[in-house]
Amino acid sequence: MIIMIIKFVDREEELKALRERLKSEKFELIIIYGRRRVGKTRLIIEAIRDTPHLYYLATEGDNLRYFKAIAERAFPHIKYIKEDWEALLHALKDKVIVIDEFPNLIKENPGIISTFQRAIDMELQNSKTKLILLGSSVSMIKEKVLSYKSPLYGRRTASLRLRPLSFFSLRDFFPEADTRELVEVYGLTDGIPYYIAQVKLPFWEWLDEEIKSPLTFFRDEVDFLLKYEFSEPTKYRRILEAIAFGKTTLKEIKDFSGLKHSDITPYLRNLIETDLVKREVPITERPTSKKGRYSLADNFLAFWFRFIGPNLSRIEEGTFSAEEIKESYDDYLGQVFEKVARQFLLRINKQEKPPFKFTRIGKWWHKGEEIDLIALNDKEKKALFVEVKWKDLNLREAKGIIKDLKRKSELTGIKYEKHYGIIARKIKGKERLELAWDLEDF
């Protein structure tokens, strides 16, 4: 098998922070966690590249024996140490030790956490040892390592929850693509490197081949994500399906999925913790507001539940084609483009380009009305209202949209100095509008 290693993209801040920690003169216990496929392993490999280290990928069983073998290869003196976690950890004092998929270790031996704690307290704490634990089972990492109930609580010196890359980093993966094609790709991959790495351009040709391939990664991916995290994947899948079908409130999800109310709340909480679902409130509300809406956390899940899940048997038969996805893809990209537009505004905000520097950004909705993006500076009492359209507009259409946006802005109750903007795929005559951006500006 040929494994193509793609150039490492972005993650500059994370790399810098990790390398600084690796150089520190004291003990560090660093936890890196995040959704499967998000790039944890690759990040740490890049970070430790120039430092002598031991990298161990935990498996389902026999970890102690494998760990010792790997440690021996990195540090030959380990050969004379007995096969015992505590003895090994003591002997690895002052070294850089990475344990990937740490939750596998916990599964094999739940007592391991106390063993690590003892080793840290007795020996490592006053050394230069760097212990770095990685895990994709966010739920397990949170409960067993980060929570105050964990024996390791209070020992960690840093934790990093890795998020998907931004839309703009897709440019580094596909320098030859135009922005429109990048939005199309992002609609499938989000900023998740593993999915980005699957894609080849031209996008539609690749997609058609991929869904017709008997080996397509699409087929098992969602089951794989759910089985890894949860013992009842079917129920979780029903909830994700409901959300993908536009059910955004607790009640709607309950009616659609047919699950009990008492089940849904903890399940949703778990889905949020594992970065598969997110909950958002209107920007004018507190985080605890009852107006919260649930949505799928990334474009990959949205894509999968909309286009792949319902067609699995046809994909299996080989009778499904990308042409059918293409028919409604622009419609689907409406929500994707909102996410892109939000990142665009954040980006120009850094360059101090909008009419003012905003400090937070979100959406707003009430009854049937909705505003795609609102950016606020509460101190200066300034607000920017933005409508986002995945469409080609002429000047008249754009003006009409802004007029309606002005009307809606009055409904929000925001009493700040108001600015209005529009972001669309293409706006003819945008120079004649005050705040109008299209793909050319991205």
Q: Which parts of this chain interact with Mg ion (CB under 5 A)?
A: 41
Tell the smallest beta-carbon distance from residue 40 to ligand ATP (Å): 4
C-beta closer to ligand ATP: residue 9 or 250: 9
C-beta closer to Mg ion: residue 39 or 354: 39
Quote the distance between the C-alpha of residue 45 and its chain's center: 19
Tell me how far apart the alpha carbons of residues 250 and 252 are, in angstroms, rounded to a whole number. Answer: 6
C-alpha atoms less than 13 angstroms from C-alpha of 116 in its C-beta half-sphere? 26
- Residue 122 binding target from Mg ion, ligand ATP, none, CB below 5 to 8 Å by type: none
Tell the smallest beta-carbon distance from residue 70 to Mg ion (Å): 16
- Residue 36 binding target from ligand ATP, Mg ion, none, CB below 5 to 8 Å by type: ligand ATP
Tell me how far apart the alpha carbons of residues 352 and 346 are, in angstroms, rounded to a whole number. Answer: 10
C-beta closer to ligand ATP: residue 98 or 240: 98
Task: Give the interface with ligand ATP as residue ranges (CB under 6 A).
Answer: 6, 8-11, 36-42, 136, 193-194, 197
- Residue 38 binding target from ligand ATP, Mg ion, none, CB below 5 to 8 Å by type: ligand ATP
Give the residue carrying structure tokens 């008249």. 396
Tell the smallest beta-carbon distance from residue 195 to ligand ATP (Å): 8
Tell the smallest beta-carbon distance from residue 311 to ligand ATP (Å): 25
Calculate the dihedral angle through the C-alpha atoms of 423, 428, 432, 435, rounding to the nearest 10 degrees: 10
- Residue 74 binding target from Mg ion, ligand ATP, none, CB below 5 to 8 Å by type: none
C-beta closer to ligand ATP: residue 100 or 338: 100
C-beta closer to Mg ion: residue 137 or 257: 137
- Supply 282's token pair: 């209107």
Tell me how far apart the alpha carbons of residues 439 and 178 are, in angstroms, rounded to a whole number. Answer: 9
Tell the smallest beta-carbon distance from residue 192 to ligand ATP (Å): 8
- Residue 348 binding target from Mg ion, ligand ATP, none, CB below 5 to 8 Å by type: none
From the list 316, 139, 121, the residue with the least C-alpha distance to 230 is 139
Tell me how far apart the alpha carbons of residues 10 and 191 are, in angstroms, rounded to a whole number. Answer: 11
C-beta closer to ligand ATP: residue 59 or 249: 59
Tell the smallest beta-carbon distance from residue 280 to ligand ATP (Å): 24
Report the residue closest to ligand ATP, judged by CB: 39
Tell the smallest beta-carbon distance from residue 225 to ligand ATP (Å): 9
Q: SS in 3 state form for 374-412? A: EEEECCCCEEEEEEEEEEEECHHHHHHHHHHHHHHHHHC
Residue 177 DSSP symbol: S
Tell me how far apart the alpha carbons of residues 387 and 11 are, in angstroms, rounded to a whole number. Answer: 30
- Residue 193 binding target from Mg ion, ligand ATP, none, CB below 5 to 8 Å by type: ligand ATP
C-beta closer to Mg ion: residue 134 or 281: 134
The letter for the amino acid at 50 is D
Q: CB of 389 within 8 A of CB of 425?
A: yes
- Supply 246's token pair: 């536009």
Looking at the DSSP assignment, which residues form a beta bridge with residue 393? 427
Can you list the alpha helix ranges (DSSP code H) found in 85-217? 85-91, 102-108, 112-122, 138-140, 170-173, 179-189, 193-198, 203-212
- Residue 69 binding target from ligand ATP, Mg ion, none, CB below 5 to 8 Å by type: none
- Residue 42 binding target from ligand ATP, Mg ion, none, CB below 5 to 8 Å by type: ligand ATP
Tell the smallest beta-carbon distance from residue 33 to Mg ion (Å): 11
C-beta closer to Mg ion: residue 144 or 254: 144
C-beta closer to ligand ATP: residue 197 or 259: 197
Q: SS in 3 state form for 275-317? A: CCEEEECCCCCCCCCCCCEEEECCHHHHHHHHHHHHHHHHHHH
Tell the smallest beta-carbon distance from residue 321 to ligand ATP (Å): 27
Tell the smallest beta-carbon distance from residue 101 to ligand ATP (Å): 7
Tell the smallest beta-carbon distance from residue 4 to ligand ATP (Å): 9
- Order of all β-strands in the sheet with 130-135: 54-57, 96-100, 130-135, 28-33, 158-161
C-beta closer to ligand ATP: residue 137 or 257: 137
- Residue 382 binding target from ligand ATP, Mg ion, none, CB below 5 to 8 Å by type: none
Give the residue carrying structure tokens 């809606």. 408
Report the residue closest to Mg ion, judged by CB: 41
- Residue 75 binding target from Mg ion, ligand ATP, none, CB below 5 to 8 Å by type: none
- Residue 6 binding target from Mg ion, ligand ATP, none, CB below 5 to 8 Å by type: ligand ATP
C-beta closer to Mg ion: residue 15 or 435: 15
Q: How far is CA 193 from CA 173, 304, 365, in A?
A: 9, 16, 32
